[in-house]
Amino acid sequence: MTDGNDVPASRPKVVVEHLYKVFGEDAAATIRRVDAGESKDNIYAQTRSVAAVADVSLTVGAGEIFVVMGLSGSGKSTLIRCLNRLIEPTRGRILLDGQDVVAMDADALRELRANKLSMVFQHFALFPHKTVGENVEFGLKVRGMPPVERRQKALRALEQVGLEAYADVPPDNLSGGMQQRVGLARGLAVDPEIMLMDEPFSALDPLIRRDVQDELLALQEQLHMTILFITHDLHEALRIGDRIAIMKDGRFVQVGTPEQIVAAPADDYVAAFTRDVDRGRVFRMGRLSQEALTVTPGDDAATARRRCDEHQVAGLHVVDPDGRPLGILTRADLASAEDAALSDLMRSDYPAARADQELIELYGACARGLPIAVLDETGRLQSSVDPLRVFALLAGERGEAETPRHAADVAPLAAREE
C-alpha cells in the first residue's frame, strides 16, 4: 500500500491501529493467514472465515473529510461500523481524541455515541409516524434533553439543511433527497465532533446527489466537523474528500489526496478507477505553477529577449514595482521590436488565475497559448503556468511535472488573436 497518510496540520481526531474484523471461527488463525499474505478467497476456502477488515491503520485530522472508497465487499462499511462498535473489532485499537473505544464499557460507549459521534446511513431510517422535526429530535430525546431545548436544536439543524419549513410534516411527504437531508439534520442536531457517513447519498439520483454533496461541503465550511465518509463512487470521493483511502479485500490499497490518487495510482486496481476521471475537476493551477519570469515597463526589448532566450520560456510577465502584473510579452511580440517601450509591446489582456482554481475553469485561458499569471490574494504575481503543461496533465501523461518550461513557442497561437 502507498502511504500517503500525511495528516493535515491539525491534531489527530481519529487514530486506527492495525484493525481486524474476522467473521467466522478461529479468528486468530485467520489473522495469521492474513498476515502471511494469503488472499481473501483462499482464506475463506480453507477456513470458511472472512477477514472483512485486515490490518487497517489510519489517522484523521480534526476538521478533515476522510473518504473510504471501494466496491461492494471491500470491507468499507464494516470498517466504519467498527469505529463506533456497531460491529465489534476482532483486534486493534481505535482512538477518538485519545480515548480507546475498544476498551470502553457499555456506559462509556453509550456516552460516546450520544455526545461525540453521529452516524448517517444510506437508508434514511426515518420514523414514518413522527414528523420531520420529531425525527431530528430523536437523538436529543434519547439523550434526555428537555423538549423546548431539543426542539430549538432540531429547528436549527433543519435550517442548516434548508428544511426548516418542513418541521411539522411527515417524512413520507418529502422526496428522497429531502429525506436524506433530514437524516443529515438528525446527525447534525447532536452537535457531533465526528460524523460517520455510510454511503449516505448512493440511493439518490445523480443530480440530487450532487446538490446534497454541495450542501455537505457548505456545512463543512461552517462547522469544521471530522467526517469519515464511505462511498463506492470515486467521483464522489474525489469531489468531497480531503484524503481518500481505496479499499480492496479488507485492506487499504492507497491513501492520498485526490490529486495524488489520480496522478499516481498505486497499482492497476486503482488505475482502473481513475482512468475515466475528469482531471480538469481534480487538479488545480497550483500543481503546475512555476517561477514567473518578469520584466518591468522600464526594461528594454533587448533585455526581455535575452531573458526569454536564457530561460527558454515562451513569454514574460510585465509587473509594476509592487509585483502586480500589467501585461504579458511573448517571443512574437519581441521578435521585431528594437527600441520600442515594453509598455507599448505588452498585451494587457493577459490570462490570470488563482492557485486554488480547478483546471476546468481555465480551459479558455489555456487555449490562448499565453503563460497564465497565478495571483495571490492581494493581486500580486505569485507564479506562472505554461498552458502546455496543463494540456499534458489533462492528457494523463506521467511525469507532467517535468514538462520543459518552453516545450514549444506559443507565438502561432498568440498570433491568432492579433
Q: What is the pLDDT of residues 275-313, one digit of tens each?
A: 888 888 899 998 999 999 999 998 888 888 888 888 888
Distance CA 47, CA 394 (A): 47
3-state helix, strand, coil in the chain (%, to 5): 40, 20, 35
404 by DSSP, 3-state: which? coil
Q: What was the pLDDT predicted at 401?
A: 41
CATH placement of domain 61-281: 3.40.50.300
Distance CA 370, CA 415 (A): 10
* 51 close to 82: Cβ distance less than 8 angstroms: no
The predicted structure's pLDDT at residue 392: 86
Q: Domain residue spans in the chain?
A: 61-281, 285-395
Cell 503546475 belongs to residue: 288
Domain 285-395 architecture: Roll (3.10)
Q: pLDDT value at position 407?
A: 31
Per-residue HEC secondary structure of 102-117 comes to CCCCHHHHHHHHHHCE
Which residues of the chain fall short of a pLDDT of 50? 398-418
Angle between helices 176-189 and 132-143 (to 10 degrees): 20
Dist. CA 278–CA 262, nearest whole Å: 10
Cell matching residue 386: 505554461
pLDDT value for 415: 34
Condensed to tens digits (0 to 9), the pLDDT of residues 54-71 reads 999 999 999 999 999 999
Amino acid at 221: E
Q: Report the distance separating Cα 40 and Cα 25, nearest Å.
A: 15
Enumerate residues 6+ apart whose C-beta is below 8 A from 103. Answer: none
- Cα(307)–Cα(359) distance, rounded to whole angstroms? 28
Instruction: Return the pLDDT at 1.
Output: 55
Largest CA distance in the chain: 86
Cα–Cα distance measured from residue 325 to residue 353, given in angstroms and rounded to the nearest whole number = 12
| Residue 49, amino acid | S
